[in-house]
Chain A
């Protein structure tokens, strides 16, 4: 938030939607595969079903994810894939973060 930024320092222009750790974990996990089901994402990210569902809904609303709901036998199965927009957004986020961290030297 701009209010938290020390005076004179411009806020880092990063995609706040992706910047949240759980959503970043979801996005990066989906970036390296073509698609995955929700159980895979749950296992990979360590989130709970409730948290995962909430974050997926936000990312889907932003157009970053395509979510398909179906059934395998009688069990519900949700398949998730990164959209082109989502892929571009993650790459953009990476650039933004690198640019924001660039002035920091060891």
Chain B
């Protein structure tokens, strides 16, 4: 049966966002949070920031590599591949700029925290850093949600944003620090569950379509 769509913008939106229904991007985001937790744990154990940063970057690179390989093997044979039109490319460009600004802001905030120390910020670093963290995460993932037409990313932004306050405020307010692993795992868990559920559903919904030799069209 031929699938018909009346609204071309809706058609493009639906086609593009379908490529994020595989759950792999969700799993990557959730895993990234856990990787950061591992980095914090390594730093606590070894008291070596370079080592923890190296471990974090190595695991993150391995995760991104695995994500790309899996996307290639899971999504492409099922949904195919397309080059987006000019409007979508513009939106992806906006998203990339937002990501770059977010990374720069994150690095600047941490540099400020390290250089200025506890007395550096007028409101206190323990107030400023979690707020910056929260705003940074919610804004950048909100922009991603809007530009990619994947609304749940905005919710993930709030979950990512919660990590900063969870890491710092319990210690400030109650004098009982939450372990970094827990502070990262709490927001990561729902993202990972959604990702796993979506992946299973995706694999059940979309069969592999191997293109037969000689088909389709005449071509060159």
Q: Chain A residues in contact with chain B, CB under 8 A?
A: 21-22, 24-25, 28-29, 31-47, 49-50, 52-54, 56-57, 60-61, 65, 67-69, 75-78, 80
Contacts and interface: CB of A to CB of B under 8 A. Distances in A.
Given A31-B8, A32-B85, A39-B209, A25 B3 contact: yes
Contacts of A67: 217-220
B47 interface: no
Interface of B: 1-5, 8-9, 11-12, 15, 76-86, 206, 209-220
A49 B210 CA distance: 10
B219 A35 contact: no
Given A29-B11, A32-B12, A69-B219, 19 more contacts: A25-B4, A32-B8, A32-B11, A34-B82, A34-B85, A35-B82, A36-B81, A37-B81, A38-B217, A39-B79, A43-B209, A45-B2, A49-B215, A52-B216, A56-B217, A67-B219, A76-B211, A76-B212, A80-B217
Contacts of B215: 38, 49-50, 52-53, 78
A54 B217 CA distance: 6
Nearest to B215: A53
A44 B3 contact: yes
Q: Chain A: interface secondary structure?
A: helix
Contact of B216 (A21, A43, A46, A56): A56
B157 to A, nearest CB: 27
- Pairs A-B, 3 closest by C-beta atoms: A40-B80, A53-B216, A39-B80
Contacts of A25: 2-5
Contacts of B217: 38, 53, 56-57, 60, 65, 67, 69, 78, 80
B211 A43 contact: no
B80 A36 contact: yes
Nearest to A20: B2
A56 B216 CA distance: 7
Contacts of A46: 1-3
11 contacts: A29-B11, A32-B9, A32-B11, A33-B12, A39-B78, A40-B15, A41-B80, A45-B2, A45-B3, A67-B218, A69-B220
Nearest to A66: B220
Contacts of B85: 32-34
Contacts of A40: 15, 79-82
A67 B219 CA distance: 5
Q: Which of B5, B80, B218 has the most CB of A within 10 A?
A: B80
